Amino acid sequence: MHLSRLTKPTRLIAGLLCGLLLAILAVPLGAQPASTTHPAQGFGPVYDASHEITLNGTIQEFVTKRVVGSPTGMHLLVAGPDGVVDARVGPFLSKETKEALRTGAPIRIVGAMTSLRGKNYLLARELTVGGTTVKLRSTNGAPMHGGSTTARRSRTKETAKVELNGGAR
């Protein structure tokens, strides 16, 4: 008789748990599908690789201070064929790249235009200045820390040769 008392609450609990499981599984069936027409939203402006452009121009100004209402990170104001463009280059530029960004220097920027609070920005994926190409974002727009520089690799090889020869003479 003692055994039958324990099985009734166990069956009741098992039945309640099964009912809860079925209810949980049934809820997503009524949910609406996610829209596939909008790009993913994150904390900042969204990089849309399908609208990528190439801008050839000259550097008007290198902005390091954040302006309220604009995306974070460093900006370049670049004079191009359609006027001045605000290009966001992000916070991860190397010291050598920052030194190459001088007013009046010719620059080539590959990136995607985006709009934030009614203002257009060019999110730079790759920039070429002074013969050096720096990759700032991956092909899908994810920021790259440190940036991948093609000229940096050749300088590293030259530095290694100098060190093997006993240093600079």
Domains and CATH numbers, the chain: 49-159 (2.40.50.140)
pLDDT of residue 28: 56
- Residue 60: pLDDT band with limits 50, 70, 90: very high
Is residue 132 exposed (0-12), middle (13-18) or buried (19+ Cβ within 10 Å)? Answer: middle
Q: Cβ(119)–Cβ(137) under 8 Å?
A: no
- Residue 155: pLDDT band with limits 50, 70, 90: very low
Higher pLDDT, 103 or 116: 103
pTM of structure: 0.60
Nearest alpha carbon to residue 103 among 59, 56, 65? 59
Asked whether residue 35 carries a pLDDT value surpassing 50, the answer given is: no
Asked whether residue 78 carries a pLDDT value surpassing 90, the answer given is: yes
Element (H, E) at 99: helix 95-100
**13-16-17-19 Cα dihedral, nearest 10 degrees:** 160
What is the share, in percent, of the chain residues with pLDDT greater than 90? 25
The rounded distance, in Å, linking the Cα atoms of 48 and 152 is 28
pLDDT of residue 158: 46
